[in-house]
Amino acid sequence: MIPTPSLSHLTKQDFRSVYEPAEDSFILLDALEADASSLTATFSHRAPICVEIGSGSGIVTTFLSQILGSASAEFVAIDLNPHANTCTRATGKANGVHVEAVRTSLLSGLGSRLEGKVDVLLFNPPYVPTEEEEEMMAQGRARIEGSWAGGATGTRLVDELIDGHVIRDVLASQGRFYLVAIKQNDPAGLVKRLTAQGLNAEVSSRYAQKVLHT
C-alpha cells in the first residue's frame, strides 16, 4: 500500500481557506494506486509531465509523486486560490517532492506550454450542484467555497474543459486524465462526450473517471 502523504504541516487555519481532503480525495488516490503498476510501466523510459487542476492541499499530486518517483517526473499544480498554492508547495516539500504551484484558472495560464505534453492530468473538481450565480461568485472569490460550488449540474468547470477540447489538446499520446464525479454529474454522459472527441473513457473506482488519450 502506498502511504498517504503527510499533511501534519497544515493547520486548522489552513483548512479554513483550503479544502481538507475528504472521501472524494481518497477515491482519487485509490484510483491512482490501482493504476500504479500501469503508470510506472507506461512512463518508465521518460520523465512524465503531471498536472493537477485545483490542487488544494497538494495531497493528490504528492501521492502521484510517490508512484512515479519524485525525481523522475515534473509536477505542476494549478489553483486559483493563492492559499492553496502555498499549501501545495508546502505539502510537496514536507514529503520530499518539488511541486510547481501555479495560480491560474483551469489551464488558461499555461496555454501552449502544455499542448500535447501532459502525461497525467488530475482533477477533483467543484462538483456540487449549485445556483449559477452562487457558483460564479464562489469561483470569482478564489477561496474555499470555489472547491465545491459546481453550477447547475455540478460540472461547469468540467464542461469548460470538455467543450473547449482542452483535455484532448493537452494530453500526450499516452496521456491519462483522472476526474472525480458524482451521480448528479452524469458520469456516463461525461464519458460519452469525451469518447466523441476520440478519447477512450470509462468510469472506474466508484465515480473516479479514467480517460486515456487515443
pLDDT in tens, 64-120: 999 999 888 999 999 999 999 999 999 999 999 999 999 998 898 786 789 999 999
The maximal CA–CA distance of the chain, rounded, in angstroms, is 47
The DSSP element (H or E) to which 52 belongs, if any, is: strand 49-53
Does the residue 200 lie in any domain?
yes
Q: Summarize the confidence of residues 45-55 as an average pLDDT.
A: 94
Radius of gyration of the chain (CA): 16
High-pLDDT (> 90) share of the chain, %: 66
Does the residue 12 lie in any domain?
no
Does the residue 132 lie in any domain?
no
d(CA 78, CA 51): 7
Per the structure, how many domains does the chain have?
Answer: 1
- Cβ partners under 8 Å of residue 146, min gap 6: 80, 81, 126, 138, 139
Q: How confident is the model at residue 8 (pLDDT cuts 50, 70, 90)?
A: very high
Does the residue 58 lie in any domain?
yes
High-pLDDT (> 70) share of the chain, %: 87
Structural domain harbouring 43: 20-125+153-213
Please state whether beta strands 208-213 and 171-180 pair in parallel, antiparallel, or not at all (unpaired).
antiparallel
Does the residue 196 lie in any domain?
yes
For the domain that residue 171 is a member of, what is the CATH number?
3.40.50.150
Does the residue 131 lie in any domain?
no
206 pLDDT higher than 60: no
Does the residue 134 lie in any domain?
no
Look at 51-55, 121-125, 210-214 and tell me which has the smallest mean pLDDT.
Answer: 210-214
What's the pLDDT at 108? 83
213 pLDDT higher than 50: no
Does the residue 144 lie in any domain?
no
